[in-house]
Amino acid sequence: MVDAQQMRAEGHDATQSHLSLCAQAAKGGTIKAASGFSATEDAQTLRKAMKGLGTDEDAIISILAYRNTAQRQEIRTAYKTTIGRDLIDDLKSELSGNFERVIVGMMTPTVLYDVQELRRAMKGAGTDEGCLIEILASRTPEEIRRINQTYQLQYGRSLEDDIRSDTSFMFQRVLVSLSAGGRDEGNYLDDALMRQDAQDLYEAGEKKWGTDEVKFLTVLCSRNRNHLLHVFDEYKRISQKDIEQSIKSETSGSFEDTLLAIVKCMRNKSAYFAERLYKSMKGLGTDDETLIRVMVSRAEIDMMDIRENFKRLYGKSLYSFIKGDTSGDYRKVLLILCGGDD
């Protein structure tokens, strides 16, 4: 007779098979490597598009939006090698506004793009909390470690120090915790610990007057995904409330937003990004920074899945939202990153 713990560890229970189904069914990104690619030819075409009076935006889009990140880096090198100028500098001087921000974002290596966004979120007056939360809650521990190295190289100081000087209280603590990149990356499930965690969260929040916020931080920032998904199920069983409901009633502000983002990313990361996109466009005005960051950073990873979740959650396609909320070359390039209507 196989005991429950062993079965769980081997991933035999329903949630686990459901998880692996989800993983298998992932559709991936919309931007793929172009075949028959020549970095040198692309570099020449781009130079021609920017030389002299006026700029041929369509030519720029037709190349950069149809290459993947690795190919764009090759183009940048070929541009410098054959022309003796920096492609990103040229793009910045020729383009402007949101269109420029998307194109330059697409030209930036993945980790460096995250690093620059984190820096922007903390630089100057005010803090873009949403950006800090989105990146730190959604990236893998390995990605977080690379972000830390690149941040240090790029700015000569640590990401953690900047977080500390720009945030405070429990929000600071949860970001520092996420930025350590120390989450367990395994899949192992310790049944006793899982039950203990669920009980601890229940006793730290719903069961007592006041909230032991550190307990939420510890469990949500250090345990592996498989473990946490079981904790959430067990938590619901003992408290009769979903963990997200409890976080909403027990915590507040940016700390609450961070814990919710962690739970959502554990449950369904593509749905989390679909919600980020929806919120960036719904109502009056557009949060272009979020819209651009999510479209650029997820295009090669899970944009197809984000689209599917967007349609499921909001009844309309991501394509139609972008089309209605943006215009000009900015709209053109975002719609290509989106990859089609649903």
| 1: in domain | no
Check whether residue 277 and residue 330 sit in a common domain.
Answer: yes
SS (H, E, C) 275-339: HHHHHHHCCCCCCHHHHHHHHHHHCCCCHHHHHHHHHHHHCCCHHHHHHHHCCHHHHHHHHHHHC
Check whether residue 119 and residue 176 sit in a common domain.
Answer: yes
Indicate the pTM of the whole model: 0.91
Domain that holds residue 82: 39-95
| 232: in domain | yes
Domain boundary among 237, 267, 297: 267
> Whose structure tokens read 């945030």?
167
221 and 177 in contact (C-beta within 8 Å)?
Answer: yes
Q: What is the pLDDT of residue 29?
A: 94
Q: What is the DSSP string of 186-237?
A: S----HHHHHHHHHHHHHHTTTSSS--HHHHHHHHHHS-HHHHHHHHHHHHH
Check whether residue 250 and residue 276 sit in a common domain.
Answer: no
| 12: in domain | no
Domain boundary among 180, 208, 224: 180
Q: Residue 113, CB half-sphere, CA atoms under 13 Å: how many?
A: 21
57 and 63 in contact (C-beta within 8 Å)?
Answer: no
Instruction: Cite the DSSP H helix spans in 26-140.
Output: 39-50, 57-64, 69-83, 87-94, 97-107, 110-122, 129-138
131 and 118 in contact (C-beta within 8 Å)?
Answer: yes
Burial class (CB in 10 A: 0-12, 13-18, 19+), 77: middle
Q: What is the pLDDT of residue 87?
A: 98
Check whether residue 200 and residue 164 sit in a common domain.
Answer: no
Identity at 63, one-letter amino acid code = I
> Whose structure tokens read 């005005």?
285
Check whether residue 197 and residue 171 sit in a common domain.
Answer: no
Q: What is the pLDDT of residue 8?
A: 43
Total tally of structural domains belonging to the chain:
4
280 and 273 in contact (C-beta within 8 Å)?
Answer: no
Q: What is the pLDDT along the chain (342 residues), one digit of tens a residue?
A: 444 444 444 444 444 444 444 444 678 999 999 999 999 999 999 999 999 889 999 999 999 999 999 999 999 999 999 999 999 999 999 999 999 999 999 999 999 999 999 999 999 889 999 999 999 999 999 999 999 999 999 999 999 999 999 999 999 999 999 999 999 999 999 999 999 999 999 999 888 777 899 999 999 999 999 999 999 999 999 999 999 999 999 999 999 999 999 999 999 999 999 999 999 999 889 999 999 999 999 999 999 999 999 999 999 999 999 999 999 999 999 999 999 998
Give the CATH number for residue 224. 1.10.220.10
Domain boundary among 180, 215, 235: 180
What SS3 class is residue 271? helix
State the Cα angle at 238 between 221 and 260, rounded to 5°.
35
Task: Kindly give the interhelix angle for 159-166 and 141-155, rounded to the nearest 10 degrees.
Answer: 90
Q: Which two tokens stand for residue 126?
A: 């005010």
The 10 Å Cβ neighbour count of residue 304 is 20
